Structure 1
Amino acid sequence: MPRYANLAEALKERALRRPDGTALAHPAADGTEHRVSYAALDARADAVAAWLRARDAVGRRVLLAMDPGPCAAVALLGCLYAGAVAVPVPAPSASRTDAERTASIVRDAAVDLVLTETAHATETSRRLSRIGRAGLTCLAIDGMRPDAGADTPRQPLRTTADSLALLAYDSGPATAPRGALLTHGNLTAAMAGLRRTLGTDHRSRIGGWLPRRHTPGLIGQVLHPLWLGATAVTLPAEPYRTDPLGWLRAISRHGITETLAPDILHARCAALLGDEPPAGLDLSRWRTALNAGEPVSAGTMAAFPHRCAPLGLRPGTLVAGYVPAEGAPVPLATGRAPVPGADFAVVDPLTGRRLPDGAPGEIWVRGPAVATGHWGRPSDTALLFAARVAEGPGGFLRTGDLGLTVNGRLRMTGRVRDALLVDGHTLHPQDVERELLRCAKALGSARVFCAGPGAGALVVVQEVVRTVGGVRTGLPRLAARIRALIAEEFGVETGALLLVRPGTVRGAGTAKVRRALLRERYLRGEVRALHAEFGPGVGEPCRGGAA
């Protein structure tokens, strides 16, 4: 493919070359596809770009608050065409944590304009007003005329590879999120890396359910297929939390050829398929299933292909990979960097010394697809994005992920930092613990952690400060309420839930028990529970009996 000054020029060229090709395919409620051609997508993106240019949006931050689907793609392309900086956030929902995070992002990024949809315009404006930003201009892009940009220049603004394109807020707790700085050059490099790793081309139909506000979903599942001149199949996330096999049905129905999904989804599908898979599923068109976003289980890598083989899944389709959170998703699935100039290292996080094959350490990455830093945090950027390997080169991103190499191939094993990886989502324990305090008056302090080292099934240890309706009859209802809150607020299932007496989490004094210490006690079966529940596939280490 020819070189372009920025990603927007490449996207515009695809639209001009394939005007009648299907750019976007969005599943409708009746199971059919709502399709958007490249010509229609380009025209709508031009209209958004014209609106942004009229408001001098070059280099300014534009909030994108909308559901996954065609409008989100239109808004993103419109920002790129206009030389604006896209700041994606989820559409308003019932989640208080998402609302708090969005408010923090609006303040941190100092956004100048807002793009949303008619269904969310009123609530978006209301929330902006609550944080003192009622004066922000907000546009519902689905209400624009298709020809609104017909009288304006139809070529993208001539930005450079170093121009900021995207602020990806994918790390930090809800009260203090951090935005990764992604330039046009970062995104273009990521496109080439994904094509090499996934084997994609203009015939691909790339689909998935990962959140579009995070880089794997936004870049891997929206921008990458459009950069290829292929089709992006935008699947909604909600159904697959309760019905993992619905993901396989969508892949079969829509002829999806490449996917990126976490290990837990592949594992759940393998477990539900059993020895007699359901009829009517055809996975023969699936070419690459990248298993990434959390530690990859050897059991999953064996079970999933075995269970899906009768459905037409070809050998070698499932590929283990690694996607760094702080930057564009360039998987290191083969143990070599897929982008020229990229590099990774497994190091001792205290000394920066490279570790030998098989020795666990922190994963460091660098290269043209890695974010350049955090917005408005120069000291943070210097610490995390300019690390130097002992007696070696600098410019590495400290990912905070634990990993090791096996015969030169990179494998992620967990997390160094506080963040948790659950069902492909990054959770911050303090966010979950804060929400649990709001769940019911009967609840006190909580500690949440993963069964694995920073990744795996979510474990909740929750103090009950007073009983409701009697201990034995009230606790199951309380547990169900906690599970429902976590699913609604954070989009993940609770693997293990232990309701415990006061003092288990808070301790004898005022300080809470450290998460790491409580996790060790849990794994040794030393946490005594009033009531305990364990999800499918989650062990029961808590054997101390009821208190």
Structure 2
Amino acid sequence: MGAMIAVPRNFTQLALRRIQERPDATAYQFVRAGHDDRLEADSLSYGEVGARSLRLAAWLQARGCHGQRVLILHTDGAQFVTSFLGCLFAGAVAVPAPPPGGARQNVERVANIIKDAAVSYLMTDSANASAVSQLLASIGHPEVVCLATDRAVAGAPGASEAGGREPQWHEPGLFPDDVAYLQYTSGSVSDPKGVMVTHRNLLANQEAIQQGMRTTSDSVVGGWLPFHHDMGLAGHLLHPLWLGSRGVLLPPISFVKRPVNWLRMIDAYGITTGGGPNLGYDLCLRRVTDEQSAGLDLSRWTTAVNGAEPVRAETMDAFAERFASTGFRREAFYPCYGLAEATLLVSGGSPGAPALERTVDSADLEHHTVRAARPGRPGRTLVSSGIPRGCEVRIVDPESHAPLPDGRVGEIWVRGESVAHGYWNRPLDNAHAFRATLADGTDGFLRTGDLGVREGGELFVTGRLKDIMIVSGRNLYPQDIERSVQQVSALFGSSAAFSVESERDHVVVVQEVRTSRSYDTRLASLAADVQQRVASEFEVAAENVLLVRPGTVRRTTSGKLQRRAMRQMFLEGQIHPLHEVVAPEVRKLVEAAADARADSRRGARERG
């Protein structure tokens, strides 16, 4: 009988085991588009990953980083892997963040993450270290020490201890419930929340992903999502390490600029498992030409993950039909549900099996009940996100906290080892979201804020609790309105629907339109068509329609629609439409808000 293999107590032990088992095997391929748009890749073996990250870990340990929060700002994939694993090997808490890149929103987000996490150190590369140090000074955090990953790994001057000795790595002695990293959610820029993901959480969720997607050491895992996103980090970056397989990673900007790069990467590097949000598949449908897709072979892509935002059956149908000639099969789609607060995966289907779909009555759905759509009545197709993976899922009345039976829509509550300890330094939020108790006294649940329904063990996600629009006493799902409006014209792109209150609730639709002329006479007609569609299908008035340029509708880097941010922009007059129809009382609301902001700025200047 063979010797028992010890179960790792933390993810660091697991990573070290993989590095020692497969030093010469390729761990990661970092893909980029060359000058002629041909794909190229830099590779790191497991041995190279280990040497680089352990050297950096020793460097961090010599500087007393154990238990400290270390911000990671990298655009380069190989440098990110080194910094992230270096933090874990050093016993530090990694804090991935979006590189500012000059964008005001990202600069503000990074500044607030630094403040919230009480960051002590920041990892970047030597080419950007000076600019990042200046940024730290400009946002009022000159005390944060900026470290260049590549200098430490290369053994550059200043990377050694006094006397010229190179620091030696030592086992950090981590416990399962020690925090591995802070995963900042895609919520408020001004008030970011960092999810405390422990080593126990990470190990449990990686096992759930493997069991749910049936991945093995022969799987090739990859995608384009950023590493500060839960699917990009736990799914595409860390899952290959868990398996001892190969990861293939594409910068998000390469996908956004040319969506075909994603499909070409899947073909060229033999990706079997990976995906992204529904938006990613939509972008391929809109922007990948027949000429670009000719000759692609997607037959090895057997698990096309679709998650991170609501899954649309029509998108999967259209994608499967459009790319059938490449060998892609409809059954390859793997709709799933998850969130950063549960590390990543909560539920998923069975690879190779078609996802269960149900077309339900829209009117019943408004009353939080699911029944089959009746002939001649408006319906909505729900796609199953599979069964719970490594956790317990309950559907709960968000007010009474009573568990609901199958067929009733309620808030999705989750319990299990993948559920994080809470948000960093947020005791009140944690008591509400991470310490929820059912009406019968059963405790320890995470309140996800998402709405869903169970049918025969399968989970169907219907929407977001905070996004529900209550208009004329009815519960309207914004994604239903958005989906319907986008079908009005082939010129329409992304859409955002929300409500604002001015004596009564008003529906607002912000719709991107592709047009070369700002004063196209068709815009007024298109706006009227939008109003007619909403009125006829949902029996509510869409008195406020803004037709805007492509790129106006705000999304996170992973493609998640930011409806609350769009609502705030609308109320602050920050949306600049090509054409708009706005109800008089809503216009007064926006103008009053603008006057209040002007008075506030004037008062601030006078006080200054």
- Give the TM-score range, shorter chain: 0.7 to 0.9
- CA 1:158–1:471 in structure 2 vs 1: closer, same or farther (change >3 Å)? closer
The amino acid of 2:580's aligned partner reads L
Give the structure-1-normalised TM-score: 0.78
- 1:23 partnered with 2:27: yes
SS, match of residue 356 in structure 1: coil
* Distance in 2 of aligned mates of 1:377 and 1:361: 25
1:493 CA displacement = 10
* Distance in 2 of aligned mates of 1:491 and 1:27: 18
- CA 1:300–1:485 in structure 2 vs 1: closer, same or farther (change >3 Å)? closer
1:336 CA displacement = 3.0
1:245 CA displacement = 3.1
SS, match of residue 15 in structure 2: helix
- 1:413 partnered with 2:470: no
What does the per-residue CA deviation read over 1:153-212, in whole Å, with 9 as the maximum and x for residues that have no partner? Answer: 445412010111111111431111111111111111111011111221222221111121
Aligned to 2:254: 239
Aligned to 2:599: none
* Aligned positions of 1:166-177 closer than 5 A: 166-177=181-192
* Distance in 1 of aligned mates of 2:254 and 2:426: 37
SS, match of residue 294 in structure 1: coil
* Aligned positions of 1:377-392 closer than 5 A: 377-391=426-440
* Distance in 1 of aligned mates of 2:254 and 2:243: 28
SS, match of residue 33 in structure 2: coil
1:152 CA displacement = 4.3
What does the per-residue CA deviation read over 1:294-315, in whole Å, with 9 as the maximum and x for residues that have no partner? Answer: 1112223333333333212245
Contact 1:483–1:493 at 8 Å: present in 2 too? no
The amino acid of 2:69's aligned partner reads R
Structure showing greater radius of gyration is 2
The amino acid of 1:99's aligned partner reads V
- 1:116 partnered with 2:124: yes
Aligned to 1:358: 407
SS, match of residue 347 in structure 2: coil
The amino acid of 2:81's aligned partner reads A
* Aligned positions of 1:81-230 closer than 5 A: 81-146=89-154, 151-154=166-169, 156-230=171-245
1:347 CA displacement = 1.4
Contact 1:75–1:115 at 8 Å: present in 2 too? yes
- CA 1:141–1:281 in structure 2 vs 1: closer, same or farther (change >3 Å)? same
The amino acid of 1:124's aligned partner reads V
Percent identical residues: 37
- CA 1:382–1:37 in structure 2 vs 1: closer, same or farther (change >3 Å)? same
* Distance in 2 of aligned mates of 1:114 and 1:383: 31
- 1:395 partnered with 2:444: yes
Query: Which moved further from structure 2: 103-112 or 201-210?
Result: 201-210
* Distance in 2 of aligned mates of 1:176 and 1:217: 22
1:69 CA displacement = 0.7
* Aligned positions of 1:58-69 closer than 5 A: 58-69=66-77
- 1:72 partnered with 2:80: yes
* Distance in 1 of aligned mates of 2:288 and 2:149: 41
Contact 2:495–2:509 at 8 Å: present in 1 too? no
The amino acid of 2:300's aligned partner reads R
- CA 1:492–1:367 in structure 2 vs 1: closer, same or farther (change >3 Å)? closer
Contact 1:65–1:115 at 8 Å: present in 2 too? yes
Contact 2:347–2:388 at 8 Å: present in 1 too? yes
The amino acid of 2:588's aligned partner reads G
SS, match of residue 400 in structure 1: strand
- CA 1:55–1:508 in structure 2 vs 1: closer, same or farther (change >3 Å)? closer
* Aligned positions of 1:424-435 closer than 5 A: none
- 1:292 partnered with 2:307: yes
SS, match of residue 459 in structure 1: strand
* Distance in 2 of aligned mates of 1:42 and 1:452: 48
The amino acid of 1:11's aligned partner reads A
What does the per-residue CA deviation read over 1:122-174, in whole Å, with 9 as the maximum and x for residues that have no partner? Answer: 22211211232212211111233446799544454120101111111114311
Contact 1:161–1:184 at 8 Å: present in 2 too? yes
1:47 CA displacement = 1.6
Count of equivalent residues: 475
1:410 CA displacement = 0.8
**Structure 2: tracts of 5 or more residues without a match:** 350-385, 470-476, 487-493, 498-507, 511-516, 524-545, 567-576, 595-608
* Distance in 1 of aligned mates of 2:557 and 2:95: 20
The amino acid of 2:189's aligned partner reads A
Aligned to 2:393: 344
Contact 1:332–1:338 at 8 Å: present in 2 too? yes
Aligned to 2:580: 499
- CA 1:392–1:414 in structure 2 vs 1: closer, same or farther (change >3 Å)? same
Contact 1:385–1:398 at 8 Å: present in 2 too? yes
Contact 1:210–1:261 at 8 Å: present in 2 too? yes
SS, match of residue 316 in structure 1: helix
- 1:14 partnered with 2:18: yes
- CA 1:42–1:505 in structure 2 vs 1: closer, same or farther (change >3 Å)? farther
SS, match of residue 293 in structure 2: coil
* Distance in 2 of aligned mates of 1:57 and 1:93: 26
SS, match of residue 9 in structure 1: helix
* Distance in 2 of aligned mates of 1:77 and 1:328: 17
Contact 1:416–1:454 at 8 Å: present in 2 too? no
- 1:459 partnered with 2:540: no
Aligned to 1:545: none
Contact 1:9–1:156 at 8 Å: present in 2 too? no
**Structure 1: tracts of 5 or more residues without a match:** 421-448, 464-469, 514-547
* Distance in 1 of aligned mates of 2:468 and 2:202: 25
* Distance in 2 of aligned mates of 1:502 and 1:94: 36
What does the per-residue CA deviation read over 1:317-370, in whole Å, with 9 as the maximum and x for residues that have no partner? Answer: 11111012423112401343322xx11112111111222223222111121111
- CA 1:28–1:300 in structure 2 vs 1: closer, same or farther (change >3 Å)? closer
What does the per-residue CA deviation read over 1:230-285, in whole Å, with 9 as the maximum and x for residues that have no partner? Answer: 12211111233353333212211221111131122224435667999932111121
* Distance in 2 of aligned mates of 1:48 and 1:127: 23
The amino acid of 1:29's aligned partner reads A
1:104 CA displacement = 0.5
* Distance in 2 of aligned mates of 1:471 and 1:280: 38
- CA 1:97–1:274 in structure 2 vs 1: closer, same or farther (change >3 Å)? closer
Aligned to 1:542: none
* Distance in 2 of aligned mates of 1:163 and 1:411: 33
Query: Which moved further from structure 2: 17-26 or 234-243?
Result: 234-243
1:396 CA displacement = 1.1
* Distance in 2 of aligned mates of 1:65 and 1:418: 31
* Distance in 2 of aligned mates of 1:264 and 1:492: 6
